[in-house]
Amino acid sequence: MCDTMVALGSVTADGATLFAKNSDREPNEAHHLLRIPATRHAPGARVKCTYVEIPQVEETYEVLLCKPFWIWGAEMGANEHGVAIGNEAVFTRVPYEKRPGLIGMDLLRLALERARTARAALEVMTNLLAQYGQGGNCGLKHKTYYHNSFILADPNEAWVLETAGKQWAAERVKDIRSISNGITIRDQWDLASPDLVAYAVERGWCRGRADFDFARCYSDPLYTRLSRCNERQCRTTAALAAQRGKITVETMIRALRDHGAGANARWSPARGVTTFTVCAHAGFGPIRATQTTGSLVSHLTPGAQTHFVTGTAAPCTSIFKPVWLGGELPDTGAAPTSEYAAAALFWRHEELHRATLRDYATRLALYRDERDALERRFIADALACRAKPLADRAALSARCFTEADEAEARWLESIHARGEMSYPGILYATAWRGFDREAKIIRE
């Protein structure tokens, strides 16, 4: 489960396009930040994606990838030309191809590496869909199959692309848009696969174009409903609509940290077995098998693109830090795996995150104000610095990562000083003790 949103310059405070996404994966499916430089490839070269090889193009662009550690592609990312893309799992009535093929995250990376604009990225993805389709397991521990939807953004425009097998529809964004884990395009679109309606008619899902509705015809109603996607999409859309004309990077971050209408100072992710919010928290049972493992907000203008990443799980316990393409990313330590390693940024933060979960409201309150103050400074400094030489921007990015890492270490010490606690509730505790054992991060 994930949530992705975009606000165009017509409704943002400074005229930039703002893109944001939470990546929801299994709790131990570590999130990896990765920069791939621009590369020229020899004629006849091939590229090995997560499962399959396809022909490589002559030139690939520099990309920032925010990805599950084991997947070649990415859940979200951006390229040197200011294109940002995020994907969502969608559950459809079209049979899933379980044989290894291109998965949605592969399509996303291939588009970032090959396209200068959001519209060109859409063409890359739909051409690949027509040629190869999509298929293959998308889960780390638990095999998971799904189709994909995407928001594709650049400094000038954005598109929603929703797919079901090789069929797809696309809609150009007007002002604001968000997607979650369900098809949202209904009976109007700007572009579509040639057989979109005919495929549905052949299967008896509608009689013709007059009564065709992409979401109604193609969606798997059970899994779409269980994903709680409509609730989350309504929350993110409302958050952006409420700030129309005033939307900032901070607006997008607040939306990514949303815990739903009932959240208050005493809210806890330990409650419920079907609760699933934008800032997603894992728990007991199949509906809560995933959580937000990484988050991205991109500030896109024609002259400069600034990206704010957590690189860590649960945006409510994380700090968004600035990065730029053009040079190396700040050092985040060893590449993470599904097991705890203090050398990896993701897992260092997991100690704080999982310690916070043991008494969420009380422990988050210990550092929330400092988190917000640090983040406000990081954002202000980054946006003020975005036109400066790369060396200045790289130095600022490195300082922000170092400060964030040091702050999180202090916060963890403060929590431990108050004594050890168990996870609350029998079911919640059972789930998290299991996650900890699998990751070899056991404290009890």
Enumerate the active-site residues.
2
Q: Are strands 291-300 and 305-309 parallel, antiparallel or unpaired?
A: antiparallel
3-state helix, strand, coil in the chain (%, to 5): 35, 20, 45
Nearby residues of 303 by Cβ (< 8 Å), 6 or more positions away: 387
> What stretches of 7-82 show up as alpha helix (H) in DSSP?
none
Identity of the amino acid at 436: D
Q: Which helix (H) or strand (E) is 257 found in, with range?
A: none
In degrees and rounded to multiples of 5, residue 200 shows phi and psi of: -70, -40
Contact between residue 135 and residue 50 where contact means Cβ atoms under 8 Å apart: no
Nearest C-alpha neighbor of 81 from the set 325, 389, 386:
325
- 3-class DSSP state for residue 22? strand
Distances (CA, A) of 194 to 30, 118, 197, 390: 39, 21, 8, 45
Torsion sign, CA atoms 319, 107, 306, 177 = negative
- Asked if residues 130 and 191 have their Cβ atoms less than 8 Å apart, the reply is no
User: What is d(CA 255, CA 361) in angstroms, rounded to the nearest whole number?
Assistant: 19
Which two structure tokens, joined as six digits, stand for 53?
């090889």
Cβ(73)–Cβ(50) below 8 Å: yes
The pairing of beta strand 39-40 with beta strand 3-7: unpaired
Closest CA to 181 of 388, 348, 29, 24: 24
B/e letters for 76-113, b = 16+ CB within 10 Å, e = fewer, are: bbbbbbbbbbbbbbbbbebebbeeebbbbbbbbbbbbb
